[in-house]
Amino acid sequence: MMTSRINAAEIDDPSMVDEEEIRQSPFWDWDFAFDAFPDIFMAFLEVTILVTVIGTLVAAVLGLIIAILIMVLPRPLAWCVRWLANFIRMTPIVVQLIFVFWAFVWMDALTIGIIVFGIHYATYMSEVYRAGIESVPKGQWEATTALSMSAGRTWRKVVIPQALRSTVPSLGNYAISMFKDTPFLLVIGVAEMVTVAGEIGAPVFRSTEVYTIAGLLFLAASYPTAVLINRLEKRLAYAH
């Protein structure tokens, strides 16, 4: 593991480390795993889950707003929004995290993480929404015109509900993708789960337990989410 290797190299006097003891230590130490679990789990809840949940909400709402703006704004303005969204989508999230972190030094790193993840994924989700909106048959729009429905009610009651039906699986996949990107928060010094796991493991040169726990926690959250999205998708399909 990278973290323990770097830390080992940083130790001034290599003779202090009993290499023989490290080599002979068991591959897996249950006691250490149990000791390490609570701290890793807390970091998981307090940072990883928090950023993912709030970030997903921000992305889902903002993504929809972007998609609608691109469709309803006059040409030049719509073009600007689209260009900006493309720019954000086409640049790496790590660069964005570092950029915003240094551009807004007065802001708390965790807040920056949530905002950057939210905006970055909003640009992906806006494309999903756009496809969903375009999949609403023309006849639906025509029916709203024939009934003189207002633009607001047309979007809220007819277009968006029907567009969402086809977008739920993709939106869910982006949420999972964001979840798996949270370790990037390391670059702005947020102690998310993987960083915390490394910090616990490094001093005692044990990485198998901490990273396994981190990996399993990721799996424990992603897998049920994926199953849930799948169910939701099926239910939405039957409802119509």
Interface residues with another protein (CB under 8 A) are: 137, 139-140, 142-143, 145-150, 153, 157-158, 161-162, 165, 239-240
- Give the shortest CB-209-to-another protein separation in angstroms: 49
> H helices within the chain, ranges in order?
2-10, 19-24, 30-43, 50-72, 75-89, 93-103, 109-134, 138-146, 151-153, 160-181, 193-201, 208-238
The nearer residue to another protein, 53 or 164, going by C-beta atoms, is 164
The CB density around residue 153, as the number of other CB atoms within 10 Å, is 12
- Give the shortest CB-107-to-another protein separation in angstroms: 40
The nearer residue to another protein, 105 or 239, going by C-beta atoms, is 239
- Give the shortest CB-143-to-another protein separation in angstroms: 4
The nearer residue to another protein, 5 or 153, going by C-beta atoms, is 153
The nearer residue to another protein, 108 or 142, going by C-beta atoms, is 142
- Give the shortest CB-161-to-another protein separation in angstroms: 4
Q: Which residues 6+ apart lie within 8 Å of 218 measured at CB?
A: 179, 180
Cα–Cα distance for residue pair 78/80, rounded to 1 Å: 5
- Give the shortest CB-174-to-another protein separation in angstroms: 23
- Give the shortest CB-157-to-another protein separation in angstroms: 7
Q: Which residues 6+ apart lie within 8 Å of 135 measured at CB?
A: 162, 163, 166
Phi and psi based region of residue 205 (left: phi greater than 0; alpha: psi -120 to 50; beta: remaining): left
The nearer residue to another protein, 23 or 138, going by C-beta atoms, is 138
The nearer residue to another protein, 91 or 140, going by C-beta atoms, is 140
Place of tokens 């889902």: 60
Q: Give residue 120's Cα distance to chain centre.
A: 9
Residues 225, 176 contacting (CB under 8 angstroms): yes
Residues 21, 84 contacting (CB under 8 angstroms): no
